[in-house]
Structure 1
Amino acid sequence: MREDFLHYVWRFSYFNISNLTDTRGNSVKIINPGILNRNAGPDFHDARIEIDGVLWTGSVEIHINASDWYRHNHQTDPAYENVILHVVWQNDKPVSHPDGTEIPALELSGRISQDLLSKNDGLNACDKGIPCANSLTDIPEVKRRAWMDRALANRLERKGADILKLYKSSQSWEDTARTWLFRNLGHKVNAEPFERLAKAVPGKAIAKQSDSGETLEALLFGTAGFLSADPADDYHRRLSGHYQLLARKYNLEERRLKESDWKFSRLRPANYPTLRISQLATLFTREPSVFNFLTEGKNLQVYENQFNLRASDYWRRHHAFGKTSSRSYAKMGQNTGQYLVTNAVVPFLHTYGQATGRYEMCDKAVALLEELPPESNTILEKWKATGTDALNAFDSQALIERYNEYCVPKKCPRCLIGHEILRS
């Protein structure tokens, strides 16, 4: 039994509501179950419940066991002082407000049909990673399509919230675009140091040095902390000299990262942050404005060409300063370029378009996803095993979102497909 399931049951009144009474025998009538709250605080707000003939308006809190109220320390949280009804699976302990007033409790055990409980148990028992794997093909195609559309919208909204948070901090779409691109270039492993690097390097410095790839590398590598050690070779020494001048000019030392902030272990050399930083320098020699870079592409081909980046000559023979490589990893691969269009360009376009009323940007974002090929990873392999194929990046992004946000935490009652299975 999970609380999400009880939220679902309460929200849609999927339980026997005849002759409802609280655990003290008082009659209970649900006028309005309230609005589901997905943030901190009680589970449902603005509920209207009639208890023993008296109409109450306030919040409803839901738990498996009534004693969870104390286990979660709600008794010390002022946000829970307006709870008018405690809905529980088992009322194992009376619960009171700080002033000693007992909170009416409604016990749901014995009021939910065995059929619904069995369906919920079936979803929870699935060990294939996707709880609805055995039932998915029974869902009509139109509902599965609506489910995909909603999942993609959720993903864009979630990423959009991260982008707007960056914008709120900087009040600059240029700075936001740069930070967002840097962060995605670092993938999960180096996202945090890349974000710090983007915030540490002034945009005006990038613009003024954009006519020299070597000076740009000095600016980026120095601020990233890779030029602090004794020079490993002549190129390393030359960059260090450039950086000393830039650091004084732009006051970079206070913002400089440490080389130890960057992760290399278990990464393929092509994904080493050293190579990515050099590729960024190449990008800035072409277009110093990341905002323009992210927003002005006319179609997928243009964006793929823009991400056809090659690190400088030094990195054709090295993957770290002073460390030669028998194989060249200087060129950014097509898969990485498509990854950045999917995860950096598309969310930024969509968020910027919504925030500024330029909805053609939102349309372009969706069109790019529909044109991009689907990603290839273990999550999509799980979906494929259920008979659900991703035709393009629109589909693969939707399936990844659904898996991470609903399947893994088993939030089936909040999922359109899970809802459909439970109510069938």
Structure 2
Amino acid sequence: GGKLHLKLGDHPVRTIDSQFGQQVQERTLQSQRRNAWKDKNPMAGLIPAAFLQQMEALGEAKLPIAIRSVSSSSPGQLLYTLAVGDVTGVFTLDASLEKEQRLFHHSDFAVQHLHVHPQQNEFACTVLHKDSSANIAVMSIDGARPKEITAGDSIDLAPQWVPGSTKALVFQSAGIARNQEGFLVEQSPFTIEKLDFQTGEMTTLATDPNYDLLAPKMTTDGSLYYIRRPYQTRQHRVHVLSILKDIILMPLRLVRAIYEWLNAFTQSYTGKPLLKSGQPQVQAKQNLLIWGNVINTTAEAEKNRRFGDQDSPALVPRSWQLVCERPQGEVQIIGEGVISYDVDIEGNVVYTNGTAIYATQPGGVPKRLLRDRPIEQVVIVAAPD
């Protein structure tokens, strides 16, 4: 979404809207209104007035605002990427003053997965290209644009600086295959790679042919954290059971489509829905793109409601596990149904399942901090002095 939710210490959660995003939305709406068709709509008198207003409102739809990535910078400072339509920019925010400053914006490529270096005035990020490839890049906070440091036909995502004196990054990487027209048709499982800036060497830290290993982070003791989810190919596989299911459900889906149309028509004339208040409403399906997978979050929430907190079920399958791999080889599962997480240098972890944020200390039990929906990313922020 286009909002930041910020919690500093014991203070209540604050919601922050992007001033730049709102300004772009307003300028776009003003331009649409100046160039709008001035004559009477030819459908006037033929359809209900409420329908006509809805049709005219479509032409004034606001540009979507999406905050794609957030990283903690200096104490009380945030760095984040903001997408407004086809334009992506990188911004800084002073959490105490709620003052937003734009570093740069571009429409030729998108930037995600920011991570600010703890000692140096630069950040690492992902540069997403229109040919479906993605590279790791670095940029000075006062620089002009990111400089790509990986290349090739691959998807390199989610870079994180490795704590310590040696300058190094960990990130997830997957090779891709294309058809004769150059379109991406398949990709390999995501592995975890480490890039040493001093030697230029690339080392594979973790790999599993059955799993995607996502969003790697390392702590000072050498522990490696990541989200592990079952690997799925991009190829669409049609199963006989799926075909039979679609055939069986076809009449029900047709009836529902007719009902939805009649319900909208009735509301336009009477202002009242077909269903009376108090009767159960059909919940609309909500799909979200999470780590490259389209997830029916409504269905997943219903599946997961019987696990854990009833009022904050995970929006992704419980097989999406937050894993900690110790230097001695011990593997610990910290959470299930995890979308995003962060860990500080002492091993304190916060993570979200999409509807709540949890915090846990090394060896401790997860504690729920707050509940909201949907939550796409969590970041630990150092409070200002």
TM class, shorter-length: under 0.3
Task: Give the number of the structure whose residues are more often strand, by fraction.
Answer: 2
Task: Give the number of the structure whose residues are more often helix, by fraction.
Answer: 1
TM-score, reference length from structure 2 = 0.25
TM-score, reference length from structure 1 = 0.23
Higher relative contact order (CA 8 A, sep 6+): 1
